[in-house]
Structures are given as structure tokens and as C-alpha cells.
Amino acid sequence: MSASRTRAVARGVVFIHSTPVSLCPHIGWALESVLGQPVHLEWTKQPVAPGFVRTEFSWAAEPGTGARLTTALRGWDGVRYEVTEEPTPGCDGSRWASTPDLGIHHTWTNASGDAVVNEDRLRSVVIASGGDPEKFRAEVAELLGTAWDLELEPFRYAGDGATVRWLHRVS
């Protein structure tokens, strides 16, 4: 008797917060290459950055796809984006945030979308701070991606009449 096994399906969202219009087809092709299927993206003007556009795309694929999507999008000038992957059995969730100035930041997330910090990373923050409370605060802010949230927050708001999806916000 053979038991059939079902594969876990991860779900997530790609948020392109701002990109030059000239990169829109390339972004679509990059997403298609990772997902192995056609992707239809609806681009709208990004009110925070005139001349730039924004989109979001929900995806479902095998766990680990969020990291592959993030890698496919990295390195293009002027692109601000976030990729989320919800937790699945045996896999943590994740959020990747990327800005032209800061690069990519990765945070593990739980089912509620809260950042999860593993004990080794927390220990390294304690050691690096050397008991200095200000240095500790700065190290924790880096660990949580506060600079990325601060830079991306104005871009997260959708245009007039569009749906707004809120991500976990680190304060």
C-alpha cells in the first residue's frame, strides 16, 4: 500500500513598490522564469516617485520560491520591492525587502507576520552591543530591518482608488 504524499504549497506576494517603466517587461520575465508560468502584472503610477510605476502579484509555488523570486529581482537600478512567503509545514515564513540604497534585507516571519529572531542572531546582537543600550537598539533595528521599513513606507501606499495591503511594520 503506497501512501500518496501532498507537497506543501507556499503562498506569498511580490510588491514592486517602484520601478522605472523600462524595467516592467524584465520584471515580468524574471517572475515568469522563477514560477515557470505566464505572469500578468497590472502597473499603476507610483505617486511618491513621478515617472515610476508599481504593482503587486500573489503567487503560489513550492516553499523556497520567495527567495528565488528575490534573487531574480535583485540588482536592477531604481527598483524598490518586497517579497513575502507565508510559513508552511516545516518552513518558516519570510519577508525580503530591497531598496536601491540599502540592498536586500531578510526577516523570518511567523504565521501572524511578526519578525522572528533566532537565538544565534540575538546572541550576536548582545555581544556586538557590548552592554551599550544605544548600540543594542541600533543592532536590533538592523536585525529587524527598520531602515528598510522607513525607506519603503511612503512607497507602500497605493494610488487613488487602489487596494492598499499593509505589511508587518517594525517600529
Question: 2-6, 53-57, 157-161 — which is least confidently predicted?
Answer: 2-6
- pLDDT given for residue 170 in this prediction: 43
pLDDT at 111 over 90: no
* pLDDT surpassing 60 at residue 171: no
Beta-carbon neighbour count of residue 109 at 10 Å?
A: 19
Q: What is the mean pLDDT of the chain?
A: 89
pLDDT digits (tens, 9 = 90+) for 13-48: 999 999 999 999 999 999 999 999 999 999 999 999
- Sequential DSSP letters for 61-98: ESTTHHHHHHHHHTT-TT-EEEEEE--BTTB-EEEEEE
Whether 3 has a pLDDT exceeding 80, the answer reads no
Q: What percent of the chain has pLDDT over 90?
A: 79
Q: What is the H or E stretch that residue 24 is in?
A: helix 24-35
Flag whether pLDDT at 155 surpasses 90: yes
- Residue 103 in grid coordinates: 540592498
Query: Of the given ranges (14-18, 67-71, 119-123), which has the lowest mean pLDDT?
Result: 119-123
Average pLDDT over residues 141-169: 75
The residue to which cell 494610488 is assigned: 159
Q: Specify the higher pLDDT residue, 44 or 6.
A: 44
pLDDT band at residue 158 under the 50/70/90 scheme: low
pLDDT band at 112 (very low <50, low <70, confident <90, very high): confident
Model confidence over 74-100: pLDDT tens digits?
989 899 999 999 999 888 899 999 999
Query: Percent of the chain at pLDDT above 70?
Result: 88
29-58 exposure pattern, b = at least 16 Cβ within 10 A, e = fewer: ebbeebbeeebebeeeebebbeebbbbbbe
